[in-house]
């Protein structure tokens, strides 16, 4: 890795290399029969495979080589403390349930965050089967396969909840009574409700691929589930916060993302009423 690059370019270069090396491993295991998979203890819908584990280990090894002062927050293994205040936040396969079914709507999430200031610096979502990659950089436009994304809904202040598609990975993620009430209320208001998708929902929202504006409502999440996604959504003109409208922090578990600010405001009003 060149030492003549600007520090931000070095970070982007490393993130791209992490996506490349993890993608190579994941492609080897995709749609392979009799792949070893386990359900995580106490987590009904959370699956881990050898592909998750090997892809994460390869990324960790690369970070320790090229950014040894940075820490690592990871899904499958032990976290590694930081000496720089920065952490790489890794989810090797977000959407393992899709991966084990042979559906290419999962992604590798690679985030870089200044944890002392809670600033997500950059995020990558890599879909290694379809050769799709999103890059979000704090304060800059989001890129999809090296081209700026165009979210056609970003400046639409006329959007209404009744016209939106409400998306959640699974209804099982709404655990508390209040979460279930909120999900049910928004499902009743929005014109469409769709389940499944994991991180692919967020990049579809950022890319403006949905036939209507999107609202993503999720709970029971971990930091590695959304850290990389924050700059991607924001760089595409979307909004992503917790259910109270606050900036997401590592301890957040409830996430809402919207194509437009008006949808976000309307959704928060409905949430606050419960």
Please state the residue numbers annotated as binding site for Mg(2+).
Answer: 75, 91, 93-94, 225
Packing angle between helix 261-272 and helix 177-189, nearest 10 degrees? 130
- Contact 76/63 with Cβ under 8 angstroms? no
| H or E stretch covering 192 | strand 192-195
C-alpha 152/C-alpha 262 separation (Å) is 14
User: For 176-194, b where at least 16 C-beta lie within 10 A, e where not — what string?
Assistant: eeebeebbeebeebbeebe
Task: Enumerate the known binding-site residues.
Answer: 75, 91, 93-94, 225
C-alpha 109/C-alpha 123 separation (Å) is 7
């Amino acid at each position: 890795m060149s030492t003549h690059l600007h520090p931000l370019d070095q970070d982007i270069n490393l993130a791209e290399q992490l996506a490349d090396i993890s993608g190579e491993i994941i492609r080897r295991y995709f749609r392979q029969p009799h792949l070893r998979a386990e359900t995580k203890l106490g987590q009904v819908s959370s699956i881990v495979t050898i592909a998750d584990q090997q892809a994460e280990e390869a990324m960790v090894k690369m970070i320790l080589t090229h950014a040894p002062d940075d820490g690592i927050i990871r899904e499958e293994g032990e976290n590694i403390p930081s000496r720089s205040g920065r952490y790489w936040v890794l989810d090797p396969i977000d959407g393992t349930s899709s991966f084990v079914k042979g559906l290419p709507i999962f992604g590798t999430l690679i985030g870089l965050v200044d944890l002392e200031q809670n600033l997500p610096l950059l995020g990558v979502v890599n879909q290694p089967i379809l050769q799709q990659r999103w890059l979000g950089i704090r304060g800059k436009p989001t890129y999809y396969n090296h081209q700026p994304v165009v979210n056609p809904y970003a400046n639409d202040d006329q959007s209404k909840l009744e016209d939106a598609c409400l998306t959640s990975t699974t209804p099982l993620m709404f655990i508390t009574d209040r979460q279930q009430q909120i999900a049910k209320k928004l499902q009743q208001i929005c014109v469409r409700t769709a389940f499944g998708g994991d991180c692919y929902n967020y990049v579809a929202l950022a890319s403006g691929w949905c036939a209507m504006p999107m609202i993503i409502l999720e709970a029971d999440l971990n930091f590695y589930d959304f850290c990389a996604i924050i700059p991607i959504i924001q760089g595409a003109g979307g909004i992503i916060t917790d259910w109270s409208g606050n900036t997401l922090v590592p301890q957040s578990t409830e996430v809402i993302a919207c194509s437009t600010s008006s949808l976000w405001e309307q959704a928060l009003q409905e949430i606050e009423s419960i």
